[in-house]
């Protein structure tokens, strides 16, 4: 599969995750969000950016449970719960937000 | 409340020459979702997995050593390293990654995950485990 | 005839390095690659087998493999030379034959 962004063709796997993480930029993120039917707000970007930082440090996309706990610690308890995160990303924060962040599917996430 | 079992993952291989180390780490991360009582053991060449300063850019492989530092987030905080294995390799605790976890019940105090123990103590930990995965 | 021996196994797990050293003759070269580079470290239980053979065999170790494993150059046994990929090729070209100990 491929995603057309700004005249360029970006390779993705069959589920829409980027094949090459280094190709990621903000325009690609927006295009993936459109494909996911998501209107990106600052709150969405906050989670996406958090995931990118987490990956940079630990070289993995965290499981939902870990993401929730870590977000709560970094961004406040009101955001560190699955209700808040599922409202932003209805098909699963780890799955959808990771896809938009250009990261692989979280380990153990089927 | 389902019964909690004691899981032990035994790591005995160096990190990049074979796939065992990475496979073990992935199984640990996946298994962490099941909220069991998880311990990790590093002995023999397995101690090489958690050494500091790994940089794989010139060999074209993924450096997965930073991922061990995420284990605390996954509530995996009992990491046993065998003293005899370190000694045989000229290594000390200072050569290992600082692996820590935050104790929610103690105001998120940061605590050490690594315990360096003797082979005899390691044998006891193995004996007391309900499920052992050996890599 | 001058042979190059390559060793890619950790000496703390297998006897590959020991066997290669035993079967190398004076004037041969031995290059440690992949997990074999652990054999280049000082102060291990296997360091002596390298140090003791140093007069007869020239030892080399792959720099990129050391770096991947976080082994600093200061921890290498004196007398072992660090090479990169082109150095590996040069060693192969310089010797009459290469034996890969697996």
pLDDT of residue A44 exceeding 90: yes
Span B54-103, pLDDT tens digits: 999 999 999 999 999 999 999 999 999 999 999 999 999 999 999 999 98
Q: Which CATH number is correct for B6-134, 3.40.640.10, 3.40.50.300, 3.90.700.10, 3.40.1260.10?
A: 3.40.1260.10
Give the number of beta-carbon pairs within 8 Å between A and B: 34
Poorest-pLDDT segment among A37-51, A59-73, C8-22, C55-69: A59-73
Q: Which residue of chain C is at minimal alpha-carbon distance from B84?
A: C45
Which two structure tokens, joined as six digits, stand for A13?
């796997």
DSSP category for residue A97: I
- The boundaries of the domain holding residue C37 are 3-101
B114-117 β-sheet, strand order: B114-117, B79-82, B37-42, B6-11, B131-134
**Residue A99, number of CB atoms within 10 A of its CB:** 28
The answer, for A73 touching chain B at a CB cutoff of 8 Å, is: yes
Q: Which residue of chain B is at minimal alpha-carbon distance from A110?
A: B30
Assign residue C73 the CATH number of its domain. 3.40.1260.10
Tabulate helix, strand, coil % of chain B (nearest 5): 40, 25, 35
Q: How far apart are CA A6 and CA A74, in angstroms?
A: 34
Query: Considering the domain A2-100, what is its CATH architecture?
Result: Orthogonal Bundle (1.10)
User: Which residues does chain C have within 8 Å of residue B51's beta carbon, measured at their own beta carbons?
Assistant: 69-71
Which of A66, A69, A94, A105 to mutate: most B Cβ within 10 Å?
A: A66
Span C64-99, pLDDT tens digits: 999 999 999 999 999 999 999 999 999 999 999 999
Identify whether A98 is a catalytic site residue: no
Closest CB to B55: pick one of C8, C42, C67. C67
H/E element, B38? strand B37-42
H/E element, C68? helix C63-68
The answer, for B64 touching chain C at a CB cutoff of 8 Å, is: no
């Amino acid at each position: 599969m491929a995603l057309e962004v700004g005249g360029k063709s970006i390779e993705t796997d069959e589920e829409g995750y980027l094949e090459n993480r280094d190709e990621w930029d903000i325009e690609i993120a927006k295009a993936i969000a459109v494909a996911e039917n998501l209107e990106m707000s600052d709150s969405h970007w906050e989670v996406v950016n958090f995931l990118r930082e987490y990956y940079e440090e630990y070289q993995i996309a965290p499981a939902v449970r870990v993401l929730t706990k870590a977000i709560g610690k970094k961004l406040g308890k009101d955001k560190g719960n699955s209700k808040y995160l599922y409202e932003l990303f209805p098909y699963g924060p780890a799955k959808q937000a990771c896809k938009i962040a250009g990261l692989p599917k979280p380990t153990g996430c089927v | 409340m389902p019964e909690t079992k004691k899981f032990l993952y035994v790591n005995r291989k160096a990190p990049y020459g074979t796939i065992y180390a990475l496979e073990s780490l992935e199984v640990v991360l996946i298994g962490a979702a099941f909220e069991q009582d998880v311990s990790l053991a590093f002995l023999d060449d397995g101690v090489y997995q958690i050494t500091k300063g790994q940089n794989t850019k010139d060999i074209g492989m993924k450096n997965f050593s930073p991922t061990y530092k995420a284990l605390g987030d996954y509530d995996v905080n009992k990491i046993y390293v065998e003293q005899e294995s370190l000694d045989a390799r000229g290594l000390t605790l200072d050569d290992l990654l600082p692996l820590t976890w935050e104790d929610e019940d103690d105001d998120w105090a940061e605590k050490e995950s690594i315990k360096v123990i003797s082979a005899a103590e390691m044998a006891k930990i193995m004996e007391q485990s309900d499920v052992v995965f050996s890599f | 005839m001058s042979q190059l021996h390559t060793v890619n196994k950790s000496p703390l797990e297998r006897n590959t390095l020991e066997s290669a050293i035993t079967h190398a003759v004076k004037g041969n070269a031995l290059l440690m690659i992949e997990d074999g580079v652990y054999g280049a470290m000082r102060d291990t239980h296997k360091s002596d087998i390298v140090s003791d053979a140093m007069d007869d065999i020239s030892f080399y170790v792959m720099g990129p493999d050391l770096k991947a494993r976080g082994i600093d150059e200061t921890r290498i046994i004196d007398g072992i030379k660090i090479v990169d990929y082109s150095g590996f090729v040069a060693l192969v070209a310089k010797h009459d034959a290469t034996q890969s100990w697996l």
